[in-house]
Structure formats: C-alpha cells, structure tokens
Amino acid sequence: MSTPLSNGEIVVGLDVGTTKVCAVVGEVAEDGITILGVGSVPCRGLRKGIVSNIDWTVRSIKDAIESAQTMAGVEIRTVYAGVAGSHIRSQVSDGVAAIAGGEVTRADVERVLEGARAIPVDADRQILHVLPREYLVDTQDGIRDPIGMSGVRLGVKVNLVTAATTCVQNVIRCAERCNLAVADVVLEPLASAESVLSDDEKEIGAAVIDIGGGTTDILLYVDGGIAHTSVIPVGGNNITNDIAAGLRTPMAEADRLKRLSGCALGRMVADDEEIEVPGVGGHPPRRCPRRVLSDIIEPRVEEIFAVVRKRIEDTGLIEQLSAGAILTGGAVLLEGMAEFAEEILGMPVRIGHPVGVRGLTQLIAGPQYATGVGLVKYGAQIMSEAQAREAAPPAQSMIRVQSSASGKIPKDAAVMTLPRAEKSKLWEWIKQAF
Ligand SMILES: Nc1ncnc2c1ncn2[C@@H]1O[C@H](COP(=O)(O)OP(=O)(O)OP(=O)(O)O)[C@@H](O)[C@H]1O
Ligand SMILES: [Mg+2]
C-alpha cells in the first residue's frame, strides 16, 4: 500500500484513458472514502482504450501520479489500474459445490466461484473478473448473498470477463516503469458503475454507458448483479475528427469548438446562432451557423447510441433495465446527449457524476472522473473483503455425508469430521451425485 500521512488506508485509482491519465488518491476509513488528491494529464499513448505507445503513456502516468501525490501529501506506490478496449469480452458460466457443514460459509462461496472460472480460455487471454449474477442454494435461486443459508448444494451463475493478456500486461508494464505496483487491474466500466450508480438502480436494473475519448463502455446491472459488459471502439474523439474534417479546422480547434459550442441535437440550436471557425494552413477564421456544427455532430452521436442500443437489445435484457441508462465519461458533457440518448435508447436517461465520496469532491465532480473515482471505490471494497476474510473463522471442517448408497441424502444424515483426503474424495462424489 501507499504510505499514508494520516490514519486511514490509502487507495489510488489509475485511469489510463485514451485522452488522459487520471490518478485519484482516496483515504479509506470505516465511515467512508475521502478524496485527498487528483492528478489528470493529457495522454497520447493510447488508441481506442489500448496502450499503443509505452513511452508516451509512461510519461503521462508519471506526471499524473506526481501531481496527485503532491496534492494528497502521500507517496504513491500501489495503484488499482483500469483497462478497457474492444478486446474485452464477457461470457456466462456457472459453478456448483457442496456446502460443507450445512451452512454456506465464505469458503464455500470462494470454492463455487473457483469452479465457475474453471473454463477453457484462449491462450492469449486472461480472466479479469468473475462477476456473480446470482447464487442458488439447493432449489432456491435468485440469491444475492448466500452466506449463512442452510442447504447441501451451492450453485452460482457468473459473468466471466476476459481480456487480451498483452493489453493488460502493457498497462501493468507502464505502471511498473513508473515504479508503481498494480494491486489489481479492473475493467473500466465496472469502476465507472461503482462511482455513478445507486444501490436502487443496481437493484431495479440499469445500463451504465461510459463514453470516453476512444471507447464507449457498456455495463448492465440486472437484479443487483452485473449481467453484461462490452466495449465499443468509438467515442468523443470520433466526433472531434468529424468536426475537423467537416469544418476543415485543426484537431485542437475542433475539440475546442465541440466543448464550447457543440450540441448533439441540431433542433436544440437556434437558427441565428453563429460560431467562429479557425482556418488551417494560414487561412483566416470564418463565421458559420452553429447549426452546421451540430449537423456534423448529430449523425456520429446517433451512430454511437444506435450501436449501444443494438448491443443492449442483443442481450435480451432491455426490458429489465427499469432505472434506464446512466451516461458518464467526458463525451457526455456535450449538450443534448441525454435528450438524444433517451430518444434512441427508448428509456429514461441521466448523466452520472461520481458520488459517494467526500473531500476534494469539486475536483472529481465531472463525469470524466467516474472511472478514476470508481477505481478507488473498487480498491476499497477489495480491501474490506480481504479484511473480512482474515477476520472470518477458519473454514468448517465438518461435512455432511450420505449414510446410504441410494444417492439421496437422508434427512437425518450424519455430521462427522473427515480427514482432508477423504473429504476431497467425498467432494468429488457429491459433485457427481448432484
Ligand atoms: N465539455 C465537453 N463537451 C464535449 N465533449 C467533451 C467535453 N469535455 C470533454 N469532452 C470529450 O470527452 C472525451 C474524453 O472523455 P474521457 O476523459 O472520459 O475519456 P478517456 O477516459 O480519456 O478515454 P477512454 O475512456 O475512451 O479511454 C474527449 O473526446 C473530449 O473531447
Ligand atoms: Mg475513460
């Protein structure tokens, strides 16, 4: 961990994005997370969410860490790093395990999750997350937290998120070249969702759509669990490119025009509004209707939301997203995004800002900080789970055994303690029997 100056544990989120690297320093205490420092610097080392130039990325990470460090007054040694890009895939898997001791323990849950991740994965890919959708105890399904429940068989349905190993390794390598240890690599939309969604929204079903510079990330929560995640390689930079080409203006000016005067919906722009467009190659600036700018932006935004809608439709879960869509990421700062998204997605839409932290909140209030803040929240959660594991009593050594050869466990089945080797044989047997 990084060295804190105060009592709490320090957790640092490192969002290595297509347009910026952002380091967020949080102090985690029992009563919540306090943001102590933020460092955000432009980065040109990534393409569509994937590291394409190590040196440029390393330079940006160093700068971002340095300014976050100075602001927070801590030395940063360990980070939770984000990863995105269209190499990310998610697939459904399940697992089953006998409940040792008749009551579900943390160890049972870990074992059943271990089983769910035991599926063949391509040699060049790695499992990033095993996200439980629901647990099943005997015949009862739809369970969120099975610990403490009675039964003989524990099942789980999960979403397995996999990533191209080289893409993950490149993020880790960049961090290591800045003398940072990576505590965990986290799927960026997972982090964003952590910082912008309320528990109620997770419960009744919601889509988080993070539109950054190079990628648009989708994450669906259904019944309190993550049901789908995917990454589309299109984002705000595509809008900027369209403006630069359409108005024949340099990229930097196109980005500036987009931020200051852009609008996603042409009909929201009055006919008499005008903008000044700087020329390229020594050409003088010229004035043109603001409507011309929105006419360039609108088709690209429409395309992005149409692809998002198709992805969501393909999951078959659209009817279960009662809380609608929560838009986050820098590109949603464009005027008219929420209104346009509502029309195309056909569901209620709101803009998601990072919430649930205190301290320097004014510095991380924008949707472009959702991932960085979410990484801190994710890291804090991992730490508290690790503490709970340490505090938990050792795994039960008792195991229910079958006292007849009928293949059914009788109601009065004996509870007895078995040596480890016997237990594992019995374990295999129970797995087959169920
Ligand atoms: N006020 C604004 N209006 C419109 N667009 C904006 C505004 N501010 C930022 N953007 C756009 O948001 C995008 C950057 O968003 P963000 O910082 O979330 O991306 P990133 O995390 O670097 O990239 P990614 O997540 O795709 O890897 C850029 O395309 C930028 O032009
Ligand atoms: Mg991002």
Mapped onto helix, strand or coil, the DSSP state of residue 77 is: coil
Residue 27 C-alpha to ligand 2 middle, in angstroms? 22
By most ligand atoms within 8 Å of CB, the mutation choice from 18, 56, 61, 263 for ligand 1 is 18
Point out the ligand 1 atom lying closest to the alpha carbon of residue 216.
26
By most ligand atoms within 8 Å of CB, the mutation choice from 19, 48, 242 for ligand 1 is 19
Q: Is 87 exposed, middle or buried (0-12, 13-18, 19+ CB in 10 A)?
A: buried
Query: CA-CA distance, 48 to 151, in Å (whole number)?
Result: 47
pTM of this prediction exceeds 0.85: yes
pLDDT digits (tens, 9 = 90+) for 317-370: 999 999 999 999 999 999 999 999 999 999 999 999 999 999 999 999 999 999
On whether the CB atoms of residues 29 and 7 are closer than 8 A, the answer is: yes
pLDDT digits (tens, 9 = 90+) for 370-392: 999 999 999 999 988 887 777 76
pLDDT digits (tens, 9 = 90+) for 100-153: 899 999 999 999 999 999 999 999 999 999 999 999 999 999 999 999 999 999
Residue 323 C-alpha to ligand 2 middle, in angstroms? 23
Q: Where are the domains of the chain?
A: 199-353, 397-434
DSSP state of 3: B
**Residues in contact with ligand 1 (CB, 6 Å cut-off):** 17-20, 49, 84, 212-215, 235-237, 240, 255, 258-259, 262, 329-331, 333-334, 368
On whether the CB atoms of residues 71 and 236 are closer than 8 A, the answer is: no
**Domain 199-353 belongs to what architecture?**
2-Layer Sandwich (3.30)
pLDDT digits (tens, 9 = 90+) for 151-172: 999 999 999 999 999 999 999 9
pLDDT digits (tens, 9 = 90+) for 192-220: 999 999 999 999 999 999 999 999 999 99
Q: How confident is the model at residue 2 (pLDDT cuts 50, 70, 90)?
A: low
Residue 153 C-alpha to ligand 2 middle, in angstroms? 41
